[in-house]
C-alpha cells in the first residue's frame, strides 16, 4: 500500500509519539474512530428525521409558500450582505 505524501508527516508523528507500535495499529485505530464517527452521524441524522416525521404527525408544519418566502428573504439578505 502506498501512503500519500501529504499524510506521511502525520503518520510519522503518531508513530514517533510511541502511542502506536506500527502503521497497522495506527490505521486500525484511525479507521475504527472514523467508523464510530460515521455511525454517530447516521444515528443523529436518523433522530433528526424521526423528529421531523413526528412534527408532521402532530401537524406542526408550515405552508410551503411560507417556507419558500423565508428562504428567498434569507437569500436576498445574504446577497446584500456579501456583495462586492
Q: Is the pLDDT of residue 1 over 90?
A: no
Cα separations in angstroms, 47 against 37, 40, 41, 58, 84: 15, 11, 10, 16, 40
Asked whether the beta carbons of 57 and 49 are under 8 A apart, the reply is: no
Q: Tell me the pTM.
A: 0.62
Q: What is the pLDDT of residues 22-79, one digit of tens each?
A: 999 999 999 999 999 999 999 999 999 999 999 999 999 999 999 999 999 999 999 9
- Give the start-to-end residue ranges of the domains of the chain: 5-81
Q: Is the pLDDT of residue 84 over 70?
A: no
Amino acid at each position: 500500500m502506498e501512503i500519500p505524501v501529504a499524510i506521511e508527516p502525520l503518520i510519522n508523528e503518531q508513530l514517533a509519539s510511541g502511542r502506536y507500535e506500527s502503521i497497522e495499529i495506527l490505521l486500525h485505530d484511525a479507521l475504527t474512530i472514523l467508523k464510530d464517527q460515521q455511525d454517530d452521524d447516521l444515528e443523529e441524522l436518523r433522530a433528526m428525521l424521526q423528529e421531523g416525521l413526528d412534527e408532521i404527525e402532530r401537524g406542526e408544519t408550515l405552508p410551503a409558500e411560507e417556507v419558500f418566502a423565508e428562504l428567498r428573504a434569507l437569500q436576498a439578505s445574504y446577497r446584500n450582505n456579501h456583495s462586492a
